[in-house]
Each structure stands twice: as structure tokens, then as C-alpha cells.
A and B are shown apart, each in its own frame.
Chain A
Amino acid sequence: MTRSLPGERSVFGPRAARLGLYAFLFASAAFFLLPLLLVISNSLKPMEEIRQGNLLALPVKPTFDAWLTAWKSACTGLECGGVRPGLWNSIKITVPAVVISTLAGALNGYALAQWKSRHANLIMLLVMVGLFIPYQAMLYPTVKILSSLSLFRTYSGIILVHVVYGLPYTTLLFRNFYVGVPEEISRAARMEGASFLRTFRSVILPLSTNILVVVAILQFTGIWNDYLLGLIFAGNDNLPMTVQLTNIVNNARGSASPNVNMAAAVITAIPTLIVYFLSGRYFVRGIAAGAVKG
């Protein structure tokens, strides 16, 4: 990029300004990295070093023992199997829920963007209000609905809950994007005789890679990191990692071994971090392409 930089010469001296700028950026970077580094470094310490007290000291004799314990044998309550079972649970909950809620959100968003009338605005408003309904207001009724469908505390039940709770958000993001896509594109496809769904699948979806990536990443991190819904709706056989992590940390015996807690925390965060590091570039690009705007 070779944009002309406004006022570059005029603020303070360019030297001093640049120096201050980088000082601020480095300080901020330290602020952002501190917790991560601290947790990683402590998860690598053996218990003796932890007992000596200081969390901020670097490990003298790094070891992966705490990681192994957290992974395989830390107690999450009555059972002592570490977070390992949670990993698979989290994956099998997150993947289908992300795919369904993203695609359904795209379809809904496209329909909302296409449909131009006062009703569409009203629905839009209702969907937006849906974004702000506190989960708490919906929990108990959701339990009732799922029980009556005998889905409460089942695998399909937790997926359904994630999809439904995610829909207003994904719908809105896609709508904002599709409103900016020229209408001629859909019109042209209609002229060729393509049905609504056909137009959506063959013409609109391929245009949407940027926003699809953004929404999928947001949904992935959101659902993977969810705690409350997993706790209530997943059932004991499907508890996601976040719930097991909290159980390990809050377990009476767990508080005695912070290194294991920290290792468990890192292990839980690894999948989303990987997803983020691999696709962060597309995420930023998608947002820049207008995924989130007024």
C-alpha cells in the first residue's frame, strides 16, 4: 500500500511520533500476550516450582506432566478422565452446529435481503431483538420445549439449541452482506428460470466466500467456547470441553494443582486458536469486505 499518509509530517516531530506509536503498540501487545504466556509457562512447571509461589516466573525444568494429567486423568467430578472425552464431544457438537447455523443463516439472510416490504423490516427488527434476548430468559422454556420433544440432554438437542440460538446472529450478518450485493445478479438468474433455492445455491453462495468465512469462524469460536448451553443441554455423555475444564478447576482437588488447571485451559483453547491462526487472515479480509457494517 502506498497511500499518502495525511498529516504525517505535521503532528509532532515524525521521530517522536513514530517512537511513541511503537511504544504504545508494544505495550498493547504485551497486555494481550501476558495471560497466554503466563498460562502456558505455568502449565509447563512441575508442582514443586508452582509451590514456590510465583506465577510469573519462567519454568526452570519444563515438563509436560501437567498436560498429560489434564488430558488423561484430572478429575472432573466423580470421574477422572481429564478433558480427553470432552474434545470429541466438542468436535461432534461444534462441527454440525456451525455448518447448519451458517448455511441456514445465509439462506435466511438472503431471503430477508431480497424481500423488500414493510413486513421484511418488521421481521428484521424482530430478528435483531432476538440478538438481545438474554439467554437466561430462554433457558427454562427451551428446557420445556426440548423435554416435550424428548431431546433434552441429548446430542441432537444440544445441536438444535446451538443452531436456534445462533440463527438471529448469522441471519443478520448475512443480511447485511447481501443487501450490498447488486440486485441485478439475482434478477439475471431469475430471468434464466432458476428457482429461489437454485439461485441461492448456484449464484449467491459462490459470491459469499468472504462472509461465509467470517460467520463460520465466529460461530465456531462461539459454539466451541460455549459453557452455559453445554452445561444445561448436552447431557452427561456429551459434555463439551469448556464444562469439563470448569469442573476440573472448581473441583476440590483441582485447586491444589494450578499447573494442571492451566494445562487444561490451554488444551481447551488450542482448537479455536488453531482455527483462528489458520484463517485469521480471511477473517480480517471478510470483515474488510463489508461483513460487519452499519
Chain B
Amino acid sequence: MSSVSIRKIRKSFAGLTVLDSVDMEIAPGEFIVILGPSGCGKSTLLNVIAGLDDCESGQIVIDAVDVSGLEPSQRGLAMVFQSYALFPAMTVRRNLSFGMEVAGTPKPTIVQKVDWVAKLLQIEALLDRKPGQLSGGQRQRVAIGRALVRSSSICLFDEPLSNLDAKLRAETRVELKQLHETLKSTMIYVTHDQIEAMTMADRVAVMHKGRVEQFAPPQSIYEKPASLFVAGFVGSPAMNLLEGSLDGAGRFLVGQRSIGSSAYPFEDPSTAGEAVLGIRCEDIDVVEPGSPDSIPAKLAFTELLGADALGWFDCLGKRMSVRLGVDAARSMRKEVGLRFDMAKASFFSASTERRL
């Protein structure tokens, strides 16, 4: 178990800033997921941590030692790649042992470790095959195995599951989580899959254009997004967003209508000015039209999702999603009222786009 501190990392490619002063403190044994849209710099950040890319400024500190100047192999890290990157002409056994062989590890130790990993990942039957003779999921296990035999206390993953089919991905996800529980090593895991982020992470770092927008446990990322970007990026369907203004006296004005905002835990309740209200689909109730504190809305269509359903309503000039029971969705009337649970809503400043 090791701690990792990422301090003010900055990196650019030919004038394009890819990492813009990234800071992160990772505690020993934590499972960190880095989440963000394509091209936001996730892989670059991981490569900088591993030492595969140089950065312009900033430090990587592992267990209070600055490793910024060290070669990747000397940093005590292991890494699993999206394309597996197994050594093509070597058997699985050789793939697992080659790194140790090069490092001059004694033979008995190598054998012992390979056996341990093979048992742990249930790849004993595959040890004498070549990567070309394995399925995608099996290759992925071998790649993870190769990272594990290094017995580093920190393991980096770059979208390791994105080449697997949906079912295998779900299974491997669970296995990885269990593996983390067994090994208790620090893991940094890059993905753009929200489910992976939500289910596996102790904490999620949401990145956007080379910056960390929010670094928090998954539930609070979901419930209390720190910025408009996070609110729009995390969750499916995306959070409903309404532009309006706060009057500083407990009401949020949208066009002709106003919504009571006093239930919202403002840091400063007298905040006023242009703002954006964000509310999740499950925090909206459908009520009789004209009920107190409700806003009239018109049903556009419903989507049945199996366990529950989504209703899409036209309301205040926006199309908004509301989570419904399947029965309720089937018998939904055209004209309804919507009532927002303001205690669970989010307000963002329109100018800074940060949470109020």
C-alpha cells in the first residue's frame, strides 16, 4: 500500500495544454477512478504518473519520495493497457515472468509468483498458450496478471475493459473490485464508463479539458456535482438543467414562473443573480396540475426501461426527464404538474459554472 500525490502537473503537446495544473492526493489502498470525456487528458495523466510521458512542471510523489525523475520501471508501479500489450511471441507463462527475469529475480521466486498469480486469476490452464490463442477476456486477465506479479503497491489501469463485450465487462468489473479487496493495493483506473466509475471507485476524479473538476466519492459526485460540467456529464439520463435567476430571497425565477429555493442548503442564502438549477430525474414528482409549488408540464413521450420508466415532459421551455414507475408511466396523463425536491437539487452560478 502506497500513497500517491500528484502535485501541480502541467503538460502540453505542441502548444496545446493537455494537463493544466492537476492536483490529487491519493491515500494508501484507495481505488481511484479517473473519469472524463474522450480527449480530456486521462491517458496522459496516467502516463505522466507512470513516467511514460514527461511533464513540464509538477511532481509525482509516491510514499513521500519524489519519483519525477525516475524511469517507469523504477517507480514501483504496474500498469494494465487498453490493448493489453502482451508480448506477442511469448507464452502466457513467459509473459508473466519476463519482467522478473530481466530484473534478475531468482528462479524459484519467479515460479512461485507466477503460480500465485495464475491461481488468483484462474489462468493456470492457459499458461502455455500464446496471446494469439486467447480470447479477449483471457488476454485481459493475463495483462492484469503481468501487472500483479510485479507486486507493486500501486496499479494503474488505462480503460482495461473497453475492448470487452458488455457481459464480460460486467463480470471482470466485479472481479477487479474483489481483487482490490484482496490485495489492498492502491489502484488508479481510467475509464469513460460511468458505471465502472460508480461501482468500483472509492473516489472519482472527473476531468475536463485537462483539469480535475471534482474529486470525491461517487455518490457525492452524483448527488452534489461541483460544476455544471460534472452535472451534465455524470448520470444517465443527464441532470435536468434550467437557466434562471435567484432573487436572494428564497425564490428561483424562470421566465414568468418562480420556484421556492429555500430548501436548498446554500452556503450563503442571500446569493442572487443568474444561476442554473440542476435536478435529477428521480428528484421530481408528478402531481395534479395546479398543485401548490408545482409547475405545469406536458407529457411528450415515455420510455419503458424494464424495471422502471422515464417520462419526458415539456416544462418551462425545456425537455425534462422524470423517473416513473412502469404502471404510472403507462397511465400518465398529458397535462400534469411537476414538483422539484429542492433539498436534493443543485444550483450553479451561471458565470463561474461552479456549485453555489
Using a CB–CB cutoff of 8 Å, the interface residues on chain A facing chain B are 2, 4, 9-10
Contact = CB atoms under 8 A, between A and B. Distances in A.
Nearest to B52: A4
B53 A4 contact: yes
B309 to A, nearest CB: 37
A10 B72 CA distance: 11
Q: What 3 A-B pairs are tightest by C-beta distance, nearest first?
A: A4-B52, A10-B71, A4-B53
Contacts of A4: 47, 52-53
7 contacts: A2-B13, A2-B14, A4-B47, A4-B52, A4-B53, A9-B71, A10-B71
A2 to B, nearest CB: 7
Contacts of B52: 4
B72 to A, nearest CB: 10
Nearest to B47: A4
A92 B166 CA distance: 61
Contacts of B14: 2
A129 to B, nearest CB: 27
A4 B54 CA distance: 9
Nearest to B69: A9
Contacts of A10: 71
A9 B14 CA distance: 22
Interface of B: 13-14, 47, 52-53, 71
A151 B53 CA distance: 66
Contacts of A9: 71
Question: In terms of DSSP, what is the predominant structure of the interface of chain B?
Answer: loop
B85 to A, nearest CB: 12
Nearest to A9: B71
B158 to A, nearest CB: 14
A10 B47 CA distance: 18
A2 B54 CA distance: 12
A9 B13 CA distance: 20
Nearest to A2: B13
B167 to A, nearest CB: 26
A2 B47 CA distance: 14
A10 B71 CA distance: 8
Nearest to B13: A2
A9 B73 CA distance: 12
B249 to A, nearest CB: 56
A249 B1 CA distance: 78
A3 to B, nearest CB: 11
Contacts of A2: 13-14
Contacts of B53: 4
A229 to B, nearest CB: 41
Nearest to B54: A4
A2 B14 CA distance: 10
A220 to B, nearest CB: 36
A9 B47 CA distance: 16
A10 B14 CA distance: 25
A2 B18 CA distance: 14
A9 B71 CA distance: 8
A10 B13 CA distance: 23
A125 to B, nearest CB: 23
B197 to A, nearest CB: 27
Nearest to A7: B71
Nearest to A10: B71
A10 B70 CA distance: 11
A146 to B, nearest CB: 48
A294 to B, nearest CB: 13
A14 to B, nearest CB: 13
Contacts of B71: 9-10
Contacts of B13: 2
A4 B71 CA distance: 13
A27 B4 CA distance: 48
A87 to B, nearest CB: 49
B184 to A, nearest CB: 31
B156 to A, nearest CB: 15
Contacts of B47: 4
A9 B74 CA distance: 13
A4 B14 CA distance: 14
A165 B13 CA distance: 51
A91 B52 CA distance: 54
Nearest to B53: A4
A275 to B, nearest CB: 36
A111 to B, nearest CB: 29
A4 B46 CA distance: 14
B183 to A, nearest CB: 28
A8 to B, nearest CB: 10
A10 B52 CA distance: 13
A4 B44 CA distance: 12
B179 to A, nearest CB: 28
A4 B51 CA distance: 11
B45 to A, nearest CB: 15
B56 to A, nearest CB: 14
A2 B53 CA distance: 11
